[in-house]
Amino acid sequence: MIMDDFDESVDRHQLGVDRHHTGNRPMTFADYNRPALFYSNRSAIRPPPPARADFAFKPWYYDLVSKNRFDGFEGELPFDHIEKFEDMVSSIKAEGIPVDYLLCKLFPYSLGERGKIWLRQLRPGSLTTWQEVKDAFLFHFYDESMSEEVRLQISSFSQGPTESFKAAWLKFGSYQRNCPHHGFTEIRLLGIFFKGIDYRYQIILDGASNGNFTSRTPSEAVNLNENSASSYGIRGIDNERRQLAAKVDSKQLEQAEIQYVRTSCQSIQHPAHNTTPTTPSTSRLEAMLEAIYKHQLERDATISDLVCTVKDMSNQLNHTTSQKTDVCAVQLRSGLQ
């Protein structure tokens, strides 16, 4: 067995030290060049030995944990590695052997080269329990800069142009799981998410909350977000946003809006001199804006219907709310109700 061979090699080295020890005679220059006189086990992880003296690690133990290797590259999350490693080792059933001992002994085999370099830099014998190993690992690989990076991802959350409501909700939750020490309150988190999603979804959440999403309690707001994420009706807006993003690039749209404003201002300030014939690019610009405007009218009508659907679903799930008929009227950006 690999572990048995390792222990035997340590014992042989120790015997070599005793056999070649100089005893009481003075050390010579040659003695100082004999590594065996100075060797000792340099392993940082040294858990107390188990009560069973006949226990031996099986080869598949090492194969199991080596499949979940942590290399320390950018994008790898130490929390994920610890969770997977603990799940794997917990599946090993060894009678009379503490799980803590298995975790400590197998952990080095779950590390890639960078992880091994870190482990070799620790003081020999400084880690004797799994909790100490885990704390040292997380402290080194999940430093303050990584914590601040995830906190920034949370505080600056913004839904992607083609990202669905469900994907945005799940992504925002993953940020919180990756940094359980983020320090944000639940109220603050819900506010960040609401401000970071597309205004179409904000209209739906407001409409399902009697016109104001902030009137919800935290638990009600979370339930509404989760129900909306699994709602079939809200997928219509998801598809519209993806189609719009495919047709009009965000930069092109921004440039079109700027050019449109400039053209309008010139027409107002110099009506008599603005006799320049319409160029093909201007015609395409006007056609693009007209198509976007028509698309917005159709989309707003769809949103109005979805508001009623989500609101009805929310009222059915909220048993504390009195049963009464609500008028599903929402003021849209286009001026429709």
Q: Verify that 32 and 56 share a domain, yes or no.
A: no
Q: Is 168 exposed, middle or buried (0-12, 13-18, 19+ CB in 10 A)?
A: buried
Q: How far apart are CA 151 and CA 148, in angstroms?
A: 5
Predicted confidence (pLDDT) per residue in 248-304, tens digit: 665 666 666 676 666 656 655 555 454 445 555 556 656 666 666 566 666 666 666
pLDDT for the residue numbered 136? 96
User: Is 132 within the bounds of a domain?
Assistant: yes
Half-sphere exposure of residue 6: CA atoms within 13 angstroms, side-chain side: 9
Among 117, 142, 167, where does a domain finish? Answer: 142
User: Is 181 within the bounds of a domain?
Assistant: yes
Q: Give the position of tokens 């205004």.
A: 199
Among 114, 142, 170, where does a domain finish? Answer: 142
Q: Verify that 173 and 297 share a domain, yes or no.
A: yes
Q: Verify that 90 and 239 share a domain, yes or no.
A: no
User: Is 327 within the bounds of a domain?
Assistant: no
Which H/E stretch holds residue 214? none
> Which residues make beta-bridge pairs with 45?
127
Q: Verify that 97 and 116 share a domain, yes or no.
A: yes
pLDDT for the residue numbered 204? 92
| Whole-prediction pTM | 0.60
User: Is 175 within the bounds of a domain?
Assistant: yes
Torsions phi, psi of 45, nearest 5? -100, 115
pLDDT for the residue numbered 10? 47
Residue 226 scores a pLDDT above 80 = yes
Residue-wise DSSP of 51-73: S-TT----HHHHHHHHTS-B---
Higher pLDDT, 143 or 286: 143
Predicted confidence (pLDDT) per residue in 28-51, tens digit: 877 777 777 766 778 999 999 888
171: which 2 tokens? Answer: 């992504």
> Which residues make beta-bridge pairs with 70?
111
Domain containing 30: what range?
1-41
Q: Evaluate the CA torsion angle 321, 324, 325, 331 in order and state its sign.
A: negative
Residue 333 scores a pLDDT above 50 = no
Residue 328 scores a pLDDT above 90 = no
Predicted confidence (pLDDT) per residue in 165-215, tens digit: 999 999 999 999 999 999 999 999 999 999 999 999 999 999 999 999 999
